[in-house]
Copies of this chain bind each other. A is one copy, B any other.
Amino acid sequence: SVNPDLASERQTASFSVEKLTALLDGGTEQTRIRRAVVEAIESDPVFSRENQYFQTQNERYEAAVRKAVHLQKKMHEMGWTENGPEYKYIYRALSGDVAFLLHRVFMRSISVLGSDKQIAQWIPLATQHKLIGSYAQTELGHGTYLQGLETTAVFDTATQEFILNTPKISAMKWWPGDMGRSATHTVVFAQLYIHGKCYGIHPFIVQIRSLQDHSLCPGVIAGDIGPKMSFEHIDNGYLLLKNVRIPRENMLSKFCEVRPDGTYVRQGSQKINYFTMTTVRISLISDEVLTPLMKACTIAIRYSVVRRQSKLKPGEQEAKILDYQTQQEKLLPQLAAAYAFHFINDYLQELFNRGYREIQRKNFDMLPELHALSSGFKAVITQHCTAGVEICLRACGGHGYSLLSGLPSLYTKILASCIYEGENTILLLQTARFLIKCFMAADAGQPVPPSVTYLAAVKHGKCPAKNKLDFLSPDIYTEAYQHVAVRLTSSTAAKLQDLIQSGVKKHDAWNQCTVQLVQAAKVSKIYLLI
């Protein structure tokens, strides 16, 4: 039975709920698929999350492994596939509370960075779950500064192997999901050395645990990094390598190859090695960022309808807290943002799919733009949605603070998205570097990439709004944001130039402008989003 306060609110909808549902899902067929998946998952006791908040970290991990294994059977039984339309609904229905998620990133790394031969060798093994993959990039001493990673991979021409080492404690891999207890294989990012010369960061497939008894391979030390703010079910891990030898064929070599004699051959940009990150940054928006905001809005708004507190009108029944202006001011903008980001997301995915296809054809022209866009969008959207979930939590008062409301775990999980796959401030500065470069090019009359052509069209007009009703027009906002984006970029570029001309060294000048640069990058992304 539905709470009467909830039922009465639902009756007042001015639109067809079923039509909107189909629109959000992308068609009635998608809605049908989603509902079938949700029904199948929710009716299966193995997938129950009922006691999760009373479980220890270890119990959470074991449940997540149990679910992951059961999910494989279930998918087979239901005829669902990893690349089928059901997958995103499965993930959503499970709230991501399942093990072996890095397995997909492992596969994506091989698909993006591996040669056809490597894809043919590893992807079937991974698809059949004959191994459990992970992705080992971040080290204890290095997260955002990838060039500074310290793990080494030295090519030994005599044996045709790479020898991997963790030269010091700060070089220990730290944070990789599924690494602490689960993974048998991982993609290790390491500095490639051939004949004593360093060729920078490259990805290597390394087996870390036995396929027979799951014991650690010789030379491998790995384990769990301990408790975090959320993700109790994931065994984020550490990894130390001591003279671990892997065959030459294990360096992912779609774009870079080491020939048997040690000759190094590169096709395209060195930066292509970071491209897995670029694609992950965009694909996480839907599952890890928008869904939590949508769930938080749903919980907080429903609660605000059934919770009655204090009296709006003397002598009457206590009012639904949603009827208070302050509660509406908290929640409705979050709901609006969830819709806006949902529809923008389709556009972002399409943009990146197009770029991805080009890069697979070894056309790297879009790489800098895709990197800047994915970095900026990831930072702005995660930031906004994280703040939104926090507002929803606080808007439910004490009951929002109980783990049983679901809001604390939505918050502690989405908060991580501001840090992982690139810390937001660093990402915004990378976007800003691209913006400044494009602004200088535009200023010099050179062509600029499509997403920043607005930088060339600097207008010095005033705000066209004449009275308060004009602020109901979306065009006013688009124009205002464009104006601010161009102005912040141009004024920061001017400040940079001034500093350099006054004798400040280039890197110092850059550092002295970074607070403004972050601001310029944020506004430019918001402008593109609206």
Contacts and interface: CB of A to CB of B under 8 A. Distances in A.
Contact of A429 (B227, B326, B415, B416): B326
A448 interface: no
Interface stretch (A157-165, A356-364, A512-520): A512-520
Contact of A148 (B309, B394, B429): B309
Interface in A301-344: 308-314, 318, 323-326, 329-330
Contact of A511 (B57, B312, B404, B505): B312
Contacts of A412: 229, 408, 412
Contacts of A398: 138, 143, 174-175, 419-420, 423
Task: Pick the most buried of A309, A311, A313, A318: most chain B CB atoms within 10 A of its CB.
Answer: A309
A325 B401 contact: no
Interface in A365-414: 394, 397-398, 400-404, 408, 412
Contacts of A511: 312, 323-325
A10 interface: no
A310 B145 contact: yes
A26 interface: no
B514 A312 contact: no
A405 to B, nearest CB: 9
Contacts of A313: 505, 507-508
Contacts of A423: 397-398
Nearest to A403: B227
Nearest to A140: B399
B145 A318 contact: yes
A144 B309 contact: yes
A342 to B, nearest CB: 25
A226 B54 contact: yes
A259 interface: no
A contact residues, range:
35 or more
Nearest to A174: B398
Contact of A143 (B138, B309, B330): B309
A326 B404 contact: no
A404 B309 contact: no
B309 A228 contact: no
Given A56-B56, A145-B318, A226 B401 contact: no
A280 B44 CA distance: 48
Interface in A49-65: 53-54, 56-57
A429 B314 CA distance: 17
B309 A403 contact: no
A325 B432 CA distance: 15
Contacts of A138: 398
Most buried by B among A56, A226, A398, A400: A398
A38 interface: no
A415 B512 CA distance: 33
Contacts of A308: 141
A484 interface: no
B403 A226 contact: yes
Contacts of A229: 401-403, 408, 412
Nearest to A55: B56
Contacts of A323: 511
Nearest to A138: B398
B310 A144 contact: yes
Nearest to A329: B515
Contacts of A310: 144-145, 148
A256 interface: no
Contact of A326 (B143, B408, B515): B515
A404 B148 contact: no
A326 B518 contact: yes
B53 A227 contact: yes
Interface in A20-43: none
A228 B401 contact: yes
A514 B329 CA distance: 10
Contacts of A145: 309-311, 318
Given A309-B143, A398-B420, A419-B401, A227 B54 contact: yes
Contact of A507 (B56, B144, B314, B514): B314
A418 B403 contact: no
Given A148-B310, A324-B511, A324-B514, 7 more contacts: A145-B310, A145-B318, A174-B398, A225-B402, A325-B514, A330-B425, A394-B419
Interface of A: 53-54, 56-57, 138, 141-145, 148, 174-175, 225-229, 308-314, 318, 323-326, 329-330, 394, 397-398, 400-404, 408, 412, 415-416, 418-420, 423-425, 429, 505, 507-508, 511-515, 518
7 smallest CB-CB distances across A and B, nearest first, come from: A229-B408, A145-B310, A227-B403, A325-B514, A53-B227, A326-B514, A329-B515
